[in-house]
Structure 1
């Protein structure tokens, strides 16, 4: 894709079920939730899986109280964009470690929900917002690997004994990637609902010194991304379509003369 080419939207009807896997309460709300609002308004069923309860996120509040507060705010924020299923795991906030247990738990959630697409954050050290946080990197990479695990009956075979048959989502959507391939137009109501979803984290955000006001921040982020689609406001993703051959395979076949 050339530098001046606009990013395309996803094909109509690409998703019926989407699972968002993130590390903390509020991770989805920094822009991605506006895309969620657009999807749910079109009848897409979206669920959230959070690996932690965000208990280490408020310096002035004890972790037990913080976890309860952030769960409540996350559920409220999720409801603002039409998400009713929000599941929390009990991995420790701030010190996530990549593990087989984490992969198994995410693969279990994928098999239970059976999504067409899994949304994750970037696992890169440096992403669109600068240097990525450690928990975010672990969550993204574990979810990527769990997506493949979920489709392999011989990985975590104990899940079969729980009645969870293999399931292979078609799409992996990475938010915050510096090389986006697709976008979601969130102009209008989806943007408003996305803003409301982050504003639902009121007490958490109040404890972050110097945090910018939510409305201009989310409006500005989505306006910047909208330029890449030629719309007023957008959320961008790097999309991997597991039903399509890898680009290197297509190029190799062309160079090998398969299309002659």
Structure 2
């Protein structure tokens, strides 16, 4: 692209390196799977780093007695990564903190942000990514927020990779809430404040049309059999709205300090 600066997010090419950092197995598929596939199908080399093995997740069905959920979810993660075209997968070995309650020793949220930033920073230095992607944590899960904080700290003041936070815009989640109120009127969804859902639409800096990689995303999500898909039960139109466009917010690293 002579005379212009290529948009590395929208137009990945062979030779580009991406680093995607998530908290749990399935975040890479249910969360930003289409973004990953968008990059890999265009030739970028994508490394996924997963902080935990998802030990505190809630199984979709009862597992056989003695089954280690973390081991099951790691296998699911590796299979899903294959569908998405991931070149390298790294697990950091922290324990899943769970959504709430006390964080035990070794849990991701028990690790100081500065410590996590050092671990992530070493990977950034080794891989030399052009693009880094994390989930924005607007679902409120403390592990998602912790990975985001760790990566922001790792890249603070950096002139290196572009950092994007994968997010769900408020307007889309309002559609979801309206549908949940119709199809599941007896659940707690009706008590949610629509204004607090997801990311403000004006904060979204990039939208990727991921229609072309929908099959890869679907195949990756299907590998996470131990978990309930957040897209189960949605109308066809709303499910497609979630899965054929990915929303991201570019982070101005000059605003963040180590």
Q: Please report the TM-score for the alignment, with normalisation by the length of structure 1.
A: 0.67
SS at match of 2:220: helix
Report the counterpart of residue 204 of structure 2 in structure 1.
180
SS at match of 1:90: strand
Report the counterpart of residue 96 of structure 2 in structure 1.
93
2:11 is the alignment partner of 1:12? yes
- Cα distance change of structure 1 residues 11 and 25 upon mapping to structure 2, 3 Å threshold: closer
Kindly state the Cα deviation for residue 112 of structure 1 after the two structures are TM-superposed. Answer: 1.2
| C-alpha RMSD of the superposition | 3.1
Is the CA contact (8 Å cut-off) linking 1:175 and 1:238 kept in structure 2?
A: yes
Report the counterpart of residue 5 of structure 1 in structure 2.
none
- In the aligned structure 2, how far is the partner of 1:89 from the partner of 1:46? 17
SS at match of 2:26: coil
SS at match of 2:211: coil
Q: Deviations over 1:135-161 (max 9, x none)?
A: 111111111111238x5xxxxxxxxxx
- In the aligned structure 1, how far is the partner of 2:81 from the partner of 2:249? 23
- In the aligned structure 2, how far is the partner of 1:114 from the partner of 1:66? 33
Q: Deviations over 1:20-70 (max 9, x none)?
A: 111100112124111211111110111100111111114655897111111
The size of the alignment, in residue pairs, is 201
* Structure 1 segments of 4+ aligned residues over 6 angstroms from their partners: none
SS at match of 1:237: strand
Kindly state the Cα deviation for residue 185 of structure 1 after the two structures are TM-superposed. Answer: 1.3
Is the CA contact (8 Å cut-off) linking 2:12 and 2:39 kept in structure 1?
A: no
SS at match of 1:196: helix
Unpaired runs of 5+ residues, structure 2, are 1-6, 98-102, 168-198
- In the aligned structure 2, how far is the partner of 1:46 from the partner of 1:218? 30
- Cα distance change of structure 1 residues 35 and 13 upon mapping to structure 2, 3 Å threshold: closer
2:74 is the alignment partner of 1:71? yes
- Cα distance change of structure 1 residues 82 and 134 upon mapping to structure 2, 3 Å threshold: same
Kindly state the Cα deviation for residue 240 of structure 1 after the two structures are TM-superposed. Answer: 3.0
SS at match of 1:89: strand
Kindly state the Cα deviation for residue 192 of structure 1 after the two structures are TM-superposed. Answer: 1.1
Q: Deviations over 1:182-203 (max 9, x none)?
A: 1211113x1110111111111x
- Cα distance change of structure 1 residues 115 and 240 upon mapping to structure 2, 3 Å threshold: same
Unpaired runs of 5+ residues, structure 1, are 1-7, 152-167, 226-232, 247-260
